[in-house]
């Protein structure tokens, strides 16, 4: 099983009326789990979820997309809300996250152990920045990373970073535990705003632990790096883009599905995976994400084939 660990929330999407919003299930890690579940790959979500009406909406969506909810941590605290603003400059978010079911998770809430059937862990999103849950997830990762493949996507949201120095240190600890990092070019520039080249910035991440880094470039595709440098570039298919919300999450889901289908969900298998097979998994992930942006909202396809 792939266990996705991190936030689930409600995206409040503006309607045609200026003063109205429609609630949609979301959250980076939640979206990744949904995308995996829709490909008939065994997946679960470890997340703090409210028992309120929005929490029930989240759990119903997980069950509809074949995501195991047995790792959900339920409480009566409210659900995180993200009000979405779409403009010519892109998508921005205003979060309401104080004292929520997801944010207030502590180390004592995390599972004490995991069965061997959980062979891959995924982390990401605002759950790596919002405290105290960020430290709870990191501690959980550090206790359970051995003999499991680990992937993460920082998906940096600056509005959640209360202490930048502590957040950067946490990301360093995260990178040291991971085998695969997916990062957008915007997030890479935030991590390293220096004038040095992209290759050196990526190699700095790899030097901290990961085997592979996937640098996503929006419509320009994906660059994939290992310790030797840039391995290859995968271009994104040309499509009519409707909505880019959730595109990165769909890439994460697609890559993990691709690795699952290649039976490459182990550290040993990833380290020996031929470049051509890794290219195939990245091509699938890129096509999966590209298909997702042809529909409004984060709505990954079912049973997708290239």
Please give the sequence-ordered ranges of beta strands (E in DSSP) within 108-236, or none if there are none: 120-124, 149-153, 180-184, 212-216, 222-226, 229-234
For residues 193-199, average pLDDT: 95
Please give the average per-residue pLDDT across 177-194, as a whole number.
97
Domains and CATH numbers, the chain: 2-292 (3.40.1190.20)
The structure's pTM equals 0.95
For 260, the 3-state DSSP assignment is helix
**pLDDT tens, residue by residue, 121-163:** 999 999 999 999 999 999 999 999 999 999 999 999 888 899 9
Calculate helix-pair angle for 275-292, 247-261, nearest 10 degrees: 140
Percent of the chain scoring above 70 in pLDDT: 99
- What pLDDT, on a 0 to 100 scale, did the predictor assign at position 245? 78
Query: Per residue in 47-99, pLDDT tens?
Result: 999 999 999 999 999 999 999 999 999 999 999 998 877 776 767 778 899 99
CA 214 to centroid of chain Cα atoms: 13
Neighbour tally for 255: CB within 10 Å: 28
- Residue 94: per-residue pLDDT: 86
């Amino acid at each position: 099983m792939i266990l996705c660990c991190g936030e689930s929330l409600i995206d409040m999407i503006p309607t045609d009326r200026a003063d109205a919003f429609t609630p949609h299930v979301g959250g980076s890690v939640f979206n990744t789990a949904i995308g995996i579940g829709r490909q008939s790959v065994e997946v679960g979500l470890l997340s703090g979820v409210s028992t309120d009406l929005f929490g029930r909406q989240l759990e119903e969506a997980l069950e509809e997309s074949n995501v195991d909810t047995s790792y959900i941590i339920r409480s009566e605290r409210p659900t995180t809300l993200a009000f979405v603003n779409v403009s010519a400059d892109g998508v921005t978010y205003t979060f309401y996250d104080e004292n929520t079911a997801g944010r207030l998770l502590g180390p004592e809430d995390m599972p004490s152990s995991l069965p061997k059937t959980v062979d891959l862990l995924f982390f990401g999103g605002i759950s790596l920045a919002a405290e105290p849950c960020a430290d709870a997830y990191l501690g959980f990762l550090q206790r359970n990373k051995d003999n499991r493949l680990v992937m993460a996507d920082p998906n940096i949201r600056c509005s959640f970073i209360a202490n930048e120095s502590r957040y950067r240190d946490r990301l360093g600890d995260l990178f040291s535990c991971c085998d695969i990092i997916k990062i957008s070019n915007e997030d890479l520039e935030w991590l390293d705003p220096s004038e040095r080249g992209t290759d050196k910035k990526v190699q700095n991440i790899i030097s901290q632990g990961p085997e592979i880094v996937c640098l996503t470039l929006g419509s320009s595709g994906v660059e994939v790096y290992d310790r030797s440098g840039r391995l290859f570039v995968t271009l994104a298919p040309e499509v009519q883009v409707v909505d880019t919300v959730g595109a990165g999450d769909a890439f994460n889901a697609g890559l993990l599905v691709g690795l699952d289908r290649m039976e490459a969900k182990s550290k040993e298998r990833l380290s020996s995976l031929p470049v051509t097979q890794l290219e195939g998994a990245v091509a699938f992930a890129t096509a999966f994400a590209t298909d997702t942006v042809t529909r409004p909202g984060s709505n990954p396809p079912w049973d997708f084939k290239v």
